[in-house]
Structure 1
Amino acid sequence: MATGGTMKVIYLDNCATTRVDDEVLDAMLPYLKEDFGNPSSPHVLGKRARRAVGQATESVAELLGADAESIVLTSGATESNNIALLGMFAHDDRAPVNALFCPTDHKSSLSVGRALRHRGIETRTMGVRPDGLVDLGHVADRLDFHSRVATIAWVNSEIGTIQPVSELATLCHDVGCLLHVDAAQAAGRLRIDVTEAAMDTLAISGHKLHGPKGVGALYVRPEIRRRLRPTTFGGGQFELRSGTIPTHLVVGLGKACELARRRLDSGWKRVTQLRATALDLIATRLPGVRVNGDPHAGVPHILNLVLPGVRGESLVASLHSVALSTGSACNSASQEPSYVLTAIGVSAEDANSSIRICLDPAMGFEDLVRGIEMVCERAQGLADVVVAMQGTR
């Protein structure tokens, strides 16, 4: 039993958010209590806070293979995506400039596309293959010398597909277009080197890698910084993003990035083992289950499955001791099938019968097995009810 008499919940939704690591929390606490100064203040407490922010920013930069001077601290990947994409365009921009978007990306990017269209900017859609990978040939055809920016999620948040960001960067740069990468699901799971991959801007969120909610970062390649315009204005803490720097959150982000960098290889190995265990159990208990997307083209942390005869939303809602989802948390209020799954050719029926399991390397095998057993037991029960109802018609 958990504290307060509540039942322990087995957490299988680590794409939506992650538990704050104990070391991260310990690093944050002094900056909520003793060293609570504003990093912009000139006194001793301000200097301590400013020093802590600088050290944390170095840790963020190290995770990304960047210099600290290229990091802009934000409230998370959503704000970072907005700064990077909206900042590429002036309010008086009109055609023939255009921007390219991937239809399976997170809504924080796709919604910017809608905002740009309202401004009169042409937006173009990348073709996506049934395995979830972007069609590079189609992207090359859609790019031209009026393309200002293209954006892609490095790791898809619903099916885990790893996109070929280096190849996309080459295609973009050949026509003078910039590439923005949403790395919210990639940070802490993939090795990132923004210089080697030739990315222009890249976004991360702290709460996706065992850091706190409400903080993230935007990498901006120094050579293109002057091409970005700020989207908000204030005290000038950052050229591209004003606002009081939340020292405790930034320290937490820095510590989370430090830990993620240290645990990268061991985490990948362990979560691969967890995934294999989960798949074996589900395939044994629920014959006919299918994996959405190419299981060999993504991170092992994300497992998206079709459970025939089971409505995913009903399964998720009926589980009281297991937390999982039917897709991205930003779509949880929608009754429509996942736009990610339908974009790669999954039928609406199969999309509505799909669930997403997101694993964490720190999870114990016993918890995983127990959680998967409860999922399978409940799924089988719901499927039996459907069969019984059909038999009475």
Structure 2
Amino acid sequence: MDRDWIYFDANASEPARPAALEAMARAASVTGNPSSVHRAGRQARAVLESAREQLAALFGARADNCVMTSGGTEANLLAVAGLGAGRRMLASAVEHDAVRAAGVAETVPVDGDGVVRLDVLEHMLAEAGAPPALVCLMLANNEVGTIQPVAEAARICRVHGALLHVDAVQAAGRIAVDLRALGADSLALSGHKFGGVKGAGALLLAGEATRTLPPVMAGGGQEQGRRGGTPALPAVAAMAEAAAQAVGALAAESAAAAMAGWRDAIDAAAVAAGAVVCGGGAPRLPNTTCLALPGRAAQTQLIALDLAGFGVSAGSACSSGKVARSHVLEAMGLGPLAGEAIRVSLPWTAREEDVMRFIDAYRTMAARLPARRATLEEAGT
């Protein structure tokens, strides 16, 4: 990446890690199809199963319950459509569109920091005569970085006979993620979110989910009949190697601590410039902050920062490039600020000098952009 233009949109896609690119190249040189029984097929199968075992070990699952997919969206869809069949469908109000669009019917509210209301979830699950439920709760929010109390939600789900699916796409490689420790029934991953390449994801299964997951794509019976189609072997190999690199760096702790310190420095400077840190009162991903600048449209801020040499985003970048009011911020009760917030998500390649340059650029932008009077009055500023 050109250092004159700094990429701070890691939650959309992390820069690929060199070791992942090397693993991708090695896998791409393997000719066979993993489903073939001849030598070339067995070589491809060995690459696939090695990646499966590595991912499962890193994220607390059994290898035979690690289903390869094309990415996080498919992993979420497979869980919701497969595990949700015949069940009541509940999800937090701040879930990614990949979950929201998969058929979730009931919404569990969140508080002003974007944390799910566990008391409401328990009340909803305890309703008399209600059928068994599938609850969807992301581990870390893609827009504001809020970390959800998934283990506590899992306990509530078990009491009421509900299954719990966790979208861990943004959390993996940035905080500790372990399917067994969380107590969830399924967990979605996406390789390019932690430094792999686009085109591979995984759904990890536990408990009842291992026995009851039907395929969304039946195909030729690959992935133990759970997901048809030949896997994207180079992307799968890159995903496994990127996961190893990301989890290894996380175990060292110093990188995450430095990232959190840089995030906090950005927050402090933004607040001094008149911004609001969305979700700042809750635990967040160390690399993520969401900054709302009253009276300045998100799109205007994005353009100004792009011209200043920084790539950030507004809301989710997984929605056809649209810049619109954030359903996450609206669910948090932030009103007009939902259309005035940008997301800064630091990649693993971030440097302190890049962060200091961004702080200067943000201050300049906030001072120069004219504020809309009506929005300021609505925000009470």
Task: Please report the TM-score for the alignment, with normalisation by the length of structure 1.
Answer: 0.88
2:97 is aligned to: 107
- The 3-state SS of whatever aligns with 1:125 is strand
Q: Does 1:209 align with 2:194?
A: yes
Q: Does 1:138 align with 2:120?
A: yes
- The 3-state SS of whatever aligns with 1:150 is strand
1:366 is aligned to: 353
CA 250–128 in structure 1, closer or farther in 2 if over 3 Å, else same = same
1:13 is aligned to: 9
Alignment of structure 1 residues 350-365 onto 2, 5 Å: 350-365=337-352
Aligned-partner Cα distance in 2 for 1:79–1:376: 39
Q: Which amino acid aligns with 2:51?
A: A
Q: Does 1:294 align with 2:280?
A: yes
Alignment of structure 1 residues 58-207 onto 2, 5 Å: 58-90=53-85, 93=86, 97-113=87-103, 123-144=105-126, 146-207=131-192
Aligned-partner Cα distance in 2 for 1:83–1:309: 40
The 8 Å contact of residues 127 and 135 in structure 1, kept in 2 or not, is answered as: yes
How big is each residue's C-alpha offset from its partner over 1:29-68, in whole Å with a ceiling of 9 and x where there is no partner? 12223x2321122222222221111111111112211121
What is the Cα deviation at residue 69 of structure 1?
A: 1.2
Aligned-partner Cα distance in 2 for 1:70–1:207: 21
What is the Cα deviation at residue 331 of structure 1?
A: 4.0
Q: Which amino acid aligns with 2:260?
A: T
CA 40–266 in structure 1, closer or farther in 2 if over 3 Å, else same = farther
Aligned-partner Cα distance in 1 for 2:18–2:257: 22
The 8 Å contact of residues 140 and 168 in structure 2, kept in 1 or not, is answered as: yes
Aligned-partner Cα distance in 2 for 1:308–1:223: 47
* Comparing 307-316 and 13-22, the one that deviates more: 307-316
How big is each residue's C-alpha offset from its partner over 1:246-278, in whole Å with a ceiling of 9 and x where there is no partner? 211111011011111101123321211211332
The 8 Å contact of residues 132 and 294 in structure 1, kept in 2 or not, is answered as: no
Task: Please report the TM-score for the alignment, with normalisation by the length of structure 2.
Answer: 0.90
1:54 is aligned to: 49
2:38 is aligned to: 43
1:281 is aligned to: 269
1:31 is aligned to: 27
2:379 is aligned to: none
Q: Which amino acid aligns with 2:187?
A: L
Aligned-partner Cα distance in 2 for 1:46–1:359: 40
Aligned-partner Cα distance in 1 for 2:249–2:14: 15
The 8 Å contact of residues 48 and 236 in structure 2, kept in 1 or not, is answered as: yes
Q: Which amino acid aligns with 2:263?
A: R
How big is each residue's C-alpha offset from its partner over 1:152-190, in whole Å with a ceiling of 9 and x where there is no partner? 111011111111111111111111110000000110112
- The 3-state SS of whatever aligns with 1:196 is helix
- Segments of 5+ residues of structure 2 without an aligned counterpart are 377-381
- Segments of 5+ residues of structure 1 without an aligned counterpart are 115-122
Report the aligned-residue RMSD.
Answer: 2.0
What is the Cα deviation at residue 133 of structure 1?
A: 0.7
